């Protein structure tokens, strides 16, 4: 089981919860389990090709999955997966 940290902007999908525990051994499995438990996440996190959207950053134990194995990044039991939306400014 992994803990997924939900950003404020997506908490309406998790019933207001800041963290959700789900099963999965990779980031992809964890995020699919999150969507199964709380429908609507997949549409916000994945593009039509099934890749993470450009403006969504996902971290496992403080490591950006874009610099590891992406959706195939291993998630050990008890680890935290954080969803961090990109912030733009000017």
State the pLDDT at residue 24.
97
State the pLDDT at residue 89.
62
Structural contact between residues 46 and 53, judged by C-beta atoms closer than 8 angstroms: yes
Residue range(s) defining the domain that contains residue 55: 2-85
pLDDT one-digit tens code per residue, 7-32: 999 999 999 999 999 999 999 999 99
- Number of structural domains (the chain) is 1
The verdict on pTM exceeding 0.85 is yes
Q: Cα-Cα-Cα-Cα dihedral of 7, 12, 16, 22, to 10°?
A: -70
Query: Has residue 90 been placed in a domain?
Result: no
Segment 67-77 shows an average pLDDT of: 97
Residue of 86 and 36 predicted with greater confidence: 36
Query: Has residue 79 been placed in a domain?
Result: yes
pLDDT bracket for residue 48 (50, 70, 90): very high
Q: Cα-Cα-Cα-Cα dihedral of 65, 8, 85, 70, to 10°?
A: 20
Q: What is the CATH number of the domain that holds 65?
A: 3.10.20.30
């Amino acid at each position: 089981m992994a803990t997924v940290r939900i950003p404020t902007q997506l908490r309406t999908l998790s019933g207001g919860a800041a963290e959700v525990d789900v099963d999965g051994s990779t980031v992809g499995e964890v995020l699919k389990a999150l969507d199964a438990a709380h429908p609507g996440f997949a549409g916000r996190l994945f593009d039509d090709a099934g890749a993470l959207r450009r403006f969504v950053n996902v971290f496992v134990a403080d490591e950006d999955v874009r610099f590891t194995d992406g959706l195939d990044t291993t998630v050990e039991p008890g680890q935290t997966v954080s969803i961090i939306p990109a912030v733009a400014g000017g």
